[in-house]
């Protein structure tokens, strides 16, 4: 587990997740969680909910940096 660099989760694939062991690695490996006990309580524990109820704001400093980059790009 300590060698995993990135993890990708897809809510449509409940019992699988994808991972990479290095950043340059092109393809994700897939790990399937063995769920032999398919009960209603197990499905309820896996229910996914949005992490945030609204979009997170961009910080003032980050916004200024992004706008500065856009201005520089449009002038070149």
> Could you tell me the CA-to-CA distances from 45 to 24, 38, 48, 49, 53 in Å, in that order?
34, 11, 9, 11, 20
- Tens digits of residue pLDDT in 1-48: 678 888 888 888 878 889 898 888 888 888 888 766 655 555 556 677
Contacts of the segment 1-6: beta carbons below 8 A, 24+ positions apart: none
Ranges of each domain in the chain: 1-33
HSE-up (13 A, CA, CB side) for residue 61: 0
- Residue 23 φ/ψ region, left for φ over 0, alpha for ψ in the -120 to 50 degree band, beta for the rest: alpha
> Is this structure's pTM higher than 0.75?
no
User: Which three-class secondary structure state does DSSP give residue 72?
Assistant: helix
């Amino acid at each position: 587990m300590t060698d995993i660099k990135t993890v990708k989760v897809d809510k449509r694939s409940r019992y699988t997740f994808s991972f990479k062991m290095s950043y340059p690695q092109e393809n994700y490996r897939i790990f399937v969680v063995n769920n032999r006990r398919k009960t209603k309580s197990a499905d309820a524990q896996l229910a996914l909910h949005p992490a945030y109820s609204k979009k997170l704001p961009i910080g003032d400093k980050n916004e200024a940096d992004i706008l500065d980059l856009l201005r520089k790009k449009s002038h070149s």
